[in-house]
Amino acid sequence: MHQQKRPDTSRQRTALFIAAVIMASFLLIPLVSADETGLTRGSRFTITVTGTPNTPYYVWLTRTYTMSGEPGDQPPVLVAYQAKIEKDPPGGPYVIGSYQYNNGGGRTIIDDVAPSTASMSNTQYYGLVTTDNNGQAIVAFQTSSNTALRTYSVKVENSQSVAKNNIQVQRGTETVNRGSVGFDTVATTPIPATLPTPVILTIMETAIPVPTTAEPEPSPIPTATPTPRVPVGIGVCIIAVGAGILMGRKTG
């Protein structure tokens, strides 16, 4: 009988490892996403300001004064240490925050943003950004688990832009020419109770046939050729003839 080739255990382990990696990649697929108008809490976003080159513009989270500023009810905050962005010190003086914005009835930026709390200064909700030689500036904001779920608007202006109406604010593909752009924040998508069914990769290995040693066919056993026998009748005749000749010689 021919012995079958035993499976290569090392190849089996390799196949199982690849299947495990593929399974892990499916389990690690991000479960949180955001679109152009919505942001998940904990994400960062940027706006692009286009205006007059090398010109400062006030930027802030407008109409957030109704919020408490406490954790869970805070607006997004300006990312710290951004180039060409100035901020008021947490304890004042509030030079930037004292700007009286257009159509505000004498209200200032400080009046238009959420109040300071023990956990967050209201100076994190506004700043002064200066455009580059091309008249552009990028401002980054950060959300967190403390960011309230609601609609926000980022407003950008200075006294000259109000008169000239030459400021453009853009986030993603949304462009606003009047100096304000809006967006929503949404809760983090919960992990579903049932995880997606992973795809298991099965590697089929074609076994290399084992070369078998051909067994020589048994040589046929030579059979002895029987000596042809002389019929009995002929032998008796020969003996009789020989005996007759001998007897004739004796009598003669």
The C-alpha angle with vertex 186 and arms to 184 and 190, in degrees rounded to 5, equals 165
* Domain-embedded: residue 58: yes
B/e letters for 47-81, b = 16+ CB within 10 Å, e = fewer, are bebbbeeebbbbbbbbebbebebeeebbbbbbbee
List, in order, residues 6 or more apart from 7 with CB less than 8 Å away: 205, 207
In the block, tokens 């099965």 appear at 202
* Domain-embedded: residue 48: yes
Distance CA 117, CA 96 (A): 19
Peptide bond before 222: cis, by omega within 30 degrees of 0?
Answer: no
232-246, pLDDT tens digit by residue? 455 544 555 555 555
- Closest by CA to 74, choosing from 36, 34, 125, is 125
Which residues partner with 126 through β-bridges?
60
DSSP codes, 161-230: HHHH---EEEETTEEETTSEEEEEEEPPPPPPSSPPPPPPP----PPPPPPPPPPPPPPPPPPPPPPPPP
* Among the ranges given (12-16, 30-34, 170-174, 206-210), the one the predictor scored with the smallest mean pLDDT: 30-34
192-207, pLDDT tens digit by residue? 444 433 333 333 344 4
* Domain-embedded: residue 231: no
Please give the residue range of the domain that contains residue 141.
Answer: 38-186
What is the number of domains present in the chain? 1
Dihedral (Cα; 95, 97, 103, 106), 10-degree rounding: -70
Mean confidence (pLDDT) of the chain: 73
* Domain-embedded: residue 181: yes
Distance CA 169, CA 49 (A): 5
Mean pLDDT, residues 126-151: 95
pTM: 0.59
List, in order, residues 6 or more apart from 31 with CB less than 8 Å away: 189, 191, 192
* Domain-embedded: residue 106: yes
Distance CA 91, CA 114 (A): 15
* Domain-embedded: residue 197: no
CB 156 within 8 A of CB 179: yes
* Domain-embedded: residue 26: no
Burial (CB count <10 Å: 0-12, 13-18, 19+), residue 169 = buried
- Closest by CA to 180, choosing from 122, 104, 121, is 104
157-187, pLDDT tens digit by residue? 998 887 777 788 887 766 665 565 565 655 6
45-90, pLDDT tens digit by residue? 999 999 999 999 999 999 999 999 999 999 999 999 999 999 999 9
Residue-level pLDDT at 108: 98
Write out the H or E segment, with its range, that includes residue 237. Answer: helix 232-251
Residue 5 pLDDT > 80, yes or no?
A: no
* Domain-embedded: residue 11: no
